[in-house]
Amino acid sequence: MNKKNKLILIAIFLLSFILRFYKLGINPPSLYWDEVSLGYNAYSILKTGKDEFGRFMPLDAFVAFGDYKPVGYIYATIIPIAIFGLNEFSVRFASALAGVFMVFLTYFLVKKLLNDEKISLVASFLMCVSPWSLQLSRAAFEANLAAFFNLLGIYFFIKGIKEKGFWLIFSSIGFVLSFYTFNSNRILAPIFILILFAVYTKEIIAVKKYAVISFILGLVLMAPVVSYFSSRESRLRFNEVNIFSDLNTVVQANDRINLDGGSRLAKIIHHRFVGHAFNYLKHYFDNFSAKFLFISGDGNPRLSIQSVGELYLWELPFFLYGLFILLAGIKDKNKLFLLLWFFAAPIPAATARETPHALRIVSILPVPQIICAIGFIGIYNFFNNTNKRKIFTYAAGLLFILNFSYYLYNYYVVFPKKWAGEWVDGYKQAVSYVSENYNSYDQIFFTNYYGRPYIYFLFYLKYDPQKYNSLVARTRDWYGNWQVLGFDKFRFGDNLTESPGSLVFVPKGSTINGMSKIDKISGNSGLIYYDVYAK
């Protein structure tokens, strides 16, 4: 590696750090409730060793809202909270850092796989500026941390078979961590391990001692979480989102079989599994639609800024050419592995109704960027003299800067204003209003309209976890979701009986008879969210 490339690499790392940490605490404009819950549970573990429900150091899952969050992100957040305190920045810290590390790993992985300095540099640069990676690195998304662990597992696997078998142990640890961090990775980790073993069979046999050790180590480390899979909670969670519970498919299959007289052949070709298979394929290929990848990204405004795709439009031609190079060179193991990685990543996500889904398939990163880099360098090498190459690089660079500026403008100027509501803006201000007036009222009523207010109270008041657990009143519905009715002076709900000495928060525009409006609360975006009444 020459000096120039070293400088470029350092610049890329620096940029990836800036892009992920600059204004991390205030853009996205506020914390979504999942982020808050991760943060408070980490805080609770830090202070008491127990979670929000008083369970000591859970390893299978955190109950949280009843959605049973995997444990990885919460434990990873303890250290930043210990250092920076309980705030937006420290909650998002683990994800942002994972994003930076992924840029590093991309460079080293591509170098190991393809042994091409230029492709490695371009790939890590594209990862550095990737809207997909940036969006998910800049909020507390468990999936992003899991994608990092997944990449770590793959990187050490490749290092293990190409250098020393010893590294396979780290690979195993990487996969186990991804397994503990995000639900999709509980299916993906075994799939990726299977793919790696199938593609690199010969190499793995050469280091079989370490392979066996790592494998057994992995199994042992996964043991604590196994009991959770057979629990009612995990099945409920799956049924809630999966496509196979669609009744129309069954009705349609029965209609078709009846029309064909119920023959055995009809029962086979019109079997509901055929319908389910088609549904599955539809959801699977949704993740490869041009609209999702290149035009507007995930439809959820928390997962994409809506004006740029998951990849830059600029990358489209390079992506296509790179894909072609991979397909045409499929006999090369490393290329085959990249392709299999790319096409395996959406396998678990496609069982759910909401597709395409940038979050659930994020373990696909950095393959799309590697593909674009291969395509880019492919076209670059296609020009055979230095002048033409220079022109190509400058022209492509100029177009990229246009595309990148458009992204930055939208991310920092348009996005925080336009989608503040999606990030449940306004809670922070409401809670700080409450804490200033805490002593003046006997009871404080707060609306459920924007969802899960209690966790914001805990978070922004830095409420003592032990005290919370002894004061809280909560109920649980059939699906296992917990609803907190109140603790301390706080009561959450919308049908409230007010007594003298109470402070009431209602959604903007609602009125309460017999009380006087004393204030209104606006969020970071400047929009008004609450009217405050008192008696």
Partner 1 sequence: MNKIKTILIFIIITLAAFAVRFYQLGINPPSLDWDEASIGYNAYTILKTGKDEFGNFLPLSIRSFNDYKASVYVYLTIIPVVILGLTEFSIRFTSAFSGSLTVIIFYFIFKKILEFDSRLTNKNTIALIAMAFLALSPWHIQFSRVAFEANLALFFVACGLLFFLNYVEKKSTFALPAAILFWGISLFTYHAQKIFLPVFIVGLIIIFRKKLLKNLSKTSLIISFIFLSVILFLLLRSSVVGGQSRFFSSSIFSERKTIIEYGENLLNSYLSHFDINFLFILGDWQVRHHAPQVAQLLLVQLPLVIIGLVFLLKFAFKANNVIFLWLLLAPLPAVFGKDSPNAVRSLLMIPILEFISACGIIAMIEYIKKPFLIFLFVTLVCANFLFYLHMYFIHMPWENSQNWQYGYKQVVDYVNKNQNKYERIIVTDAYDQPYIYFLLYEQPMQILFNNGEFYKGFGKYIFRPINWQEDKNLKNTLLVGTPDQIGQEKVIKQIDSLSGKPLFRIVAL
| Contacts to partner 1 by CB under 8 A | 255-256, 259-260, 269, 274-275, 278, 281-282, 285-286, 288-291, 294-296, 313, 324, 327-328
In the complex, least distance from residue 25 CB atom to partner 1, rounded to whole angstroms: 30
Going 409 to 6 to 395 to 119, the CA torsion angle's sign is negative
In the complex, least distance from residue 350 CB atom to partner 1, rounded to whole angstroms: 12
In the complex, least distance from residue 310 CB atom to partner 1, rounded to whole angstroms: 14
In the complex, least distance from residue 370 CB atom to partner 1, rounded to whole angstroms: 19
H or E stretch including 327?
Answer: helix 316-328
In the complex, least distance from residue 282 CB atom to partner 1, rounded to whole angstroms: 5
In the complex, least distance from residue 386 CB atom to partner 1, rounded to whole angstroms: 24
In the complex, least distance from residue 316 CB atom to partner 1, rounded to whole angstroms: 8
* Pairing mode of beta strands 490-492, 443-446: parallel
CB 211 within 8 A of CB 349: no
Instruction: Output 8 or 325, the one with its CB closest to partner 1.
Output: 325
In the complex, least distance from residue 294 CB atom to partner 1, rounded to whole angstroms: 7
Instruction: Output 231 or 252, the one with its CB closest to partner 1.
Output: 252
- Angle (CA) 201-147-21 rounded to 5° is 145
In the complex, least distance from residue 352 CB atom to partner 1, rounded to whole angstroms: 16
CB 148 within 8 A of CB 102: yes
Instruction: Output 391 or 414, the one with its CB closest to partner 1.
Output: 414
Instruction: Output 11 or 290, the one with its CB closest to partner 1.
Output: 290
Instruction: Output 175 or 337, the one with its CB closest to partner 1.
Output: 337
Instruction: Output 261 or 526, the one with its CB closest to partner 1.
Output: 261
Instruction: Output 37 or 287, the one with its CB closest to partner 1.
Output: 287
Going 440 to 445 to 447 to 453, the CA torsion angle's sign is positive
Structure tokens that stand for 59 in this block: 């390893």
In the complex, least distance from residue 328 CB atom to partner 1, rounded to whole angstroms: 5
Instruction: Output 248 or 387, the one with its CB closest to partner 1.
Output: 248
CB 156 within 8 A of CB 167: yes
Structure tokens that stand for 337 in this block: 């592995």
DSSP per position, 262-307: T-HHHHHHT-HHHHHHHHHHHHHHHTT-HIIIIIS--SSTTT--SS
CB 463 within 8 A of CB 502: no
Find the radius of gyration of the CA atoms of the chain: 26
CB burial class (10 A; 0-12, 13-18, 19+) of residue 367?
A: buried
H or E stretch including 191?
Answer: helix 183-199
Instruction: Output 177 or 308, the one with its CB closest to partner 1.
Output: 308
In the complex, least distance from residue 247 CB atom to partner 1, rounded to whole angstroms: 17
CB burial class (10 A; 0-12, 13-18, 19+) of residue 508?
A: middle
Length of the chain: 535
In the complex, least distance from residue 358 CB atom to partner 1, rounded to whole angstroms: 17
Instruction: Output 205 or 328, the one with its CB closest to partner 1.
Output: 328
How many angstroms separate the CA atoms of 112 and 197, rounded?
A: 17
CB burial class (10 A; 0-12, 13-18, 19+) of residue 405?
A: exposed
Residue the block writes with tokens 């590093």: 104
In the complex, least distance from residue 162 CB atom to partner 1, rounded to whole angstroms: 27
Structure tokens that stand for 518 in this block: 């004393």
Instruction: Output 18 or 281, the one with its CB closest to partner 1.
Output: 281
Instruction: Output 164 or 282, the one with its CB closest to partner 1.
Output: 282
CB burial class (10 A; 0-12, 13-18, 19+) of residue 95?
A: buried
How many angstroms separate the CA atoms of 87 and 432, rounded?
A: 13
Sheet holding 490-492, edge to edge: 473-476, 482-487, 490-492, 443-446, 502-507, 528-534, 516-522
Give me the phi and psi of 494, to 5 degrees please.
-120, -20
Instruction: Output 313 or 408, the one with its CB closest to partner 1.
Output: 313
